[in-house]
Amino acid sequence: MAKVSPSLLSADFAALGKDIEMINRSETDYLHLDIMDGVFVPNISFGFPVIESIKDLCKKPLDVHLMIVEPGKFVSRFAKAGASIINVHYETCPHLHRTIQSIKNEGVKAAVTLNPHTPVCLLQDIVRDVDMVLLMSVNPGFGGQKFIEGCLDKVSELKELILRKNSQAEIEVDGGVNLETGKALVERGADVLVAGNYVFKSPDPVAAIAALKRLVSD
């Protein structure tokens, strides 16, 4: 079964408690939190006080996606705020190995994220060190964008790299995921589906999460 990581970016921020309560009674595997700094991406989202409040209410592990420059500066604070997984972008980390080790030293799972234009082959010397690779299937910054089809081949390529390097990393995909794109992703080997609009704009988010979890390859 696929894992599902609903992206809180598409939730109702005036009623977050209600949405977290929905997440708790759903089959959600991780709760995806998008942190944007207005520098690495052209948008600003939320930060530590919001994560800390969510941590007190949410029973699911927090999957924190850092779309910020110099993420290494804040690893310890995100860990203390309640992150279970910290995703840093390849494009923001000149010393990626060091940043990954600093995440692990906090007792948190470490993940590296690739923008749509960043090739999978760049991960060949780090893929054994990470718990997860997050492939962006939209340009990061906003929810509700159209899935970039070229991401499907990247999932296949990453799956092959993980097997060849004997890595344990999960493959997570983020952006434009719905039942149709989600199925194609699972068929290529994706393990974790991030979904914002598809879940939170659904009339029945709990059922939307369950439907994504049940996607299997033919």
Q: What is the largest CA-CA distance in the chain?
A: 46
- Partner that binds at residue 138, options ligand DX5, Zn ion, none, CB closer than 5 to 8 Å by kind: ligand DX5
CB 85 within 8 A of CB 111: yes
Told to check if 68 binds ligand DX5 by CB under 6 A, we report: no
**Per-residue mark of binding to ligand DX5, 25-64 (x: CB under 6 A):** -------x-x------------------------------
**Per-residue mark of binding to ligand DX5, 131-170 (x: CB under 6 A):** -------x-xxxxxx-------------------------
Rounded to whole angstroms, how far apart are CA atoms 48 and 75? 12
Residue sitting closest to Zn ion (CB): 65
**Piece of 3-11, 20-28, 85-93, 150-158 that binds ligand DX5 (CB under 6 A):** 3-11
CB 118 within 8 A of CB 139: no
Residue in 80, 138, 81, 89 with CA at minimum distance from that of residue 110: 89
| DSSP for residue 39 | S
Catalytic one of 19, 29, 34, 191 = 34
Catalytic one of 63, 131, 174, 191 = 174
Burial per residue of 28-48, b for 16 or more beta-carbon CB atoms within 10 angstroms, e otherwise:
bbbbbbbbbbeebbeeebbbe
For residue 117, how far is the Cα from the chain centroid?
17
- Give yes or no: 37 in active site: no
Rounded to whole angstroms, how far apart are CA atoms 61 and 201? 22
176 known member of a binding site: yes
Length of the chain: 218
Told to check if 71 binds ligand DX5 by CB under 6 A, we report: no
37 known member of a binding site: no
Q: By C-beta, is 165 or 211 nearer to ligand DX5?
A: 211
Q: Which of residues 16-75 bind Zn ion (CB under 5 A)?
A: 34, 65
- Partner that binds at residue 26, options Zn ion, ligand DX5, none, CB closer than 5 to 8 Å by kind: none
Active-site residue list: 34, 174
Given the rule CB under 5 A, which residues bind Zn ion?
34, 65, 174
